[in-house]
Amino acid sequence: LRENVEKLRAAGVHFVGPVEGALSSGDTGMGRMADPEEILKFSEKLLEEAGKLKGKKILIAYGRTEEEIDPVRVITNRSSGKMGYYLAERAKAMGAHTILVEGEISYQPPVGDEKHKVRTHAQMREVLIKLAPQADVIIMSAAVSDFRPEIRSEEKIKRGKALQLTLVPTGDILAEIGKNKKKGQVVVGFALESQNLEEVAREKLDRKNLDIIVGNTLDAPGSDFIDGFILDRNGNLTEFKGRHKAEVASALFEKIAEFLGA
């Protein structure tokens, strides 16, 4: 059932409920159909939002980057790119022109009006810095490498002796974008932390000159459901727990529409 629901979500189908309440079995719990009034309100909201971002250019970076150790080995992370998929789908549903910058992903790729495929931190930076000035909204949901090997071996490293790697930090792409943000442009970042999430998110929001940041906790790689919050530069914080990434994407775009005055 969960797999079928996920396929429907990926096809753009929206779900209302289930909710807690009395069940046909006589038990009480999660599994009851949402009230018809709630379903109607949700449907009206979808229709109302359909053209909210018409004419707006939304730049979305998602997926993970890779940094080469040698021609066959890389340093990377376990980001699936799922959040990027749902962000792109939601932006299109609201009528936006979507510009996608896609790193390596482990999920089906979203459809965009424009798409740029990248693999390394350097490639992602080059593309984003070039495209950023034309966008009304920039969403950085990509899991970009924080470090890269100082030296890349031109040949495959042979098995044998212990290997020591010297890693050097990469530049902060989002901070660079925030520093050069145009008037009226909305810049959104993500914070993934194992502890002190809200404190770290607030610091990043301020230091990187962001308008909105999505904070979420460490979950199983590729999970569809996340815990966290959406925080804006005015101090407004909306928490969510066990929310599907599609729902989080929808809530984020509601906030973005507010900032754009849409």
Catalytic sites, residue numbers: 77
CATH for 75: 3.40.50.10300
pLDDT tens per residue, range 156-210: 999 888 889 999 999 999 999 999 999 999 999 999 988 899 999 999 999 999 9
Structure tokens that stand for 128 in this block: 């984003």
Alpha-carbon distance of 74 to 80, in angstroms, equals: 16
Are the C-beta atoms of 201 and 191 separated by less than 8 Å?
Answer: yes
**Is residue 27 domain-resident?**
no
Q: 214 - beta bridge partners?
A: 190, 230
**Is residue 13 domain-resident?**
no
pLDDT band at 22 (very low <50, low <70, confident <90, very high): low
**Is residue 22 domain-resident?**
no
Residue-level pLDDT at 151: 96
Compute and round to an integer the Cα radius of gyration of the chain: 20
**Is residue 14 domain-resident?**
no
**Is residue 11 domain-resident?**
no
Domain count for the chain, please give it.
1
**Is residue 44 domain-resident?**
no
Are the C-beta atoms of 68 and 156 separated by less than 8 Å?
Answer: no
Which SS3 state, helix, strand or coil, does residue 251 take? helix
Domain boundaries, position 188: 53-260
Residue-level pLDDT at 43: 65
**Is residue 46 domain-resident?**
no
Residue-level pLDDT at 126: 99
CB neighbour burial string for 44-78, b if at least 16 within 10 angstroms, e if fewer: eeeeebeebbeebbbbbbbbbbbbbbeeeebbeee
pLDDT tens per residue, range 74-83: 999 999 999 9
Alpha-carbon distance of 89 to 234, in angstroms, equals: 27
Classify burial at 181, counting beta carbons within 10 Å of its beta carbon; exposed 0-12, middle 13-18, buried 19 or more. Answer: middle
**Is residue 9 domain-resident?**
no
The residue with greater pLDDT, 44 or 172, is 172
Q: Side chain identity at 141, as an amino acid letter?
A: S
Whether residue 225 is predicted with pLDDT greater than 70 in this model: the reply is yes
Place of tokens 């459809």: 111
Classify burial at 234, counting beta carbons within 10 Å of its beta carbon; exposed 0-12, middle 13-18, buried 19 or more. Answer: exposed
| Among 203, 198, 206, CA closest to 239 | 198
What is the share, in percent, of the chain residues with pLDDT greater than 70? 84
